[in-house]
Amino acid sequence: MIRLGAGRLDRIVAVGAHCDDIAIGAGGTLLTMCLAHPGTRVDALVLSGGGSEREQEERAALAAFCPGADLRLTVLKLPDGRLPAHWEEAKAAVEELRARTEPDLVLAPRTDDAHQDHGGLAKLVPTAFRDHLVLGYEIVKWDGDLVRPPAYQPLSPEIAERKVRLLQELYPSQRHRPWYDREAFLGLARIRGIECHARYAEAFAVTKLTLNLGD
Count H helices and E strands in the chain, helices first.
6, 7
The model's pTM is 0.95
Tell me, what's the pLDDT at 80? 85
CA distance 48 to 46: 6
Query: Residues 2-19: pLDDT tens digits?
Result: 566 666 789 999 999 999
Query: Residues 109-160: pLDDT tens digits?
Result: 999 999 999 999 999 999 999 999 999 999 999 898 999 999 999 999 999 9
Q: Provide Rg for the chain, Cα atoms.
A: 16
Three-state SS for 45?
Answer: strand
Query: Residues 62-119: pLDDT tens digits?
Result: 999 999 999 999 999 998 888 888 999 999 999 999 999 999 999 999 999 999 999 9
Other residues' Cβ atoms within 10 Å of the Cβ of residue 165:
13
**CA 205 vs CA 31, 59, 125, 136, 155: distances in Å:** 19, 26, 13, 5, 17
Residue 93's φ and ψ, nearest 5 degrees, are -65, -45
Closest CA to 38 of 10, 64, 9, 69: 69
Domains and CATH numbers, the chain: 11-207 (3.40.50.10320)
